[in-house]
A = this chain, B = another copy of it.
Amino acid sequence: MSYQLELRHFNYFLAVAKELHFRKAAEKLFISQPGLSRQIKQMEEILDTPLFVRDKKKVKLTPAGMYLKEEVEFILNHLELIQKQSRTIGEGHLGEVRIGFLGSAMQEVIPKFLLQLKESYSGIKTSLEELSNRAQVDALLKDKLDIGFVRLARVPKGIEIMPVKEDSFSVVLPENHALSAENFKKMGQLKEESFILFAQEYSPLYYDTVVSICEDSGFSPKVSHKSVHAQTIFKLVENNLGVSIVPTSLQYGFKMKIKFIELKQIPQRAVLSVIWKSDNRNPVLKNCMDLILG
A residues apposed to B, CB below 8 Å = 4-8, 47-51, 62-64, 67-68, 70-72, 74-75, 78-79, 82-83, 85-87, 89-91, 95, 157-158, 277-279, 281, 283
Contact = CB atoms under 8 A, between A and B. Distances in A.
Given A4-B7, A67-B283, A47 B89 contact: no
Contacts of A4: 7-8
B64 A89 contact: yes
For this chain, the copies found in one complex come to: 2
Contacts of A158: 278-279
Contact of A90 (B64, B70, B85): B64
A67 B85 contact: yes
A91 B50 CA distance: 10
A145 to B, nearest CB: 15
Contact of A83 (B5, B62, B90, B95): B5
Given A6-B7, A75-B82, A82-B75, A90 B50 contact: yes
Contacts of A283: 67, 70
Contacts of A281: 70-71, 74
A79 B7 CA distance: 11
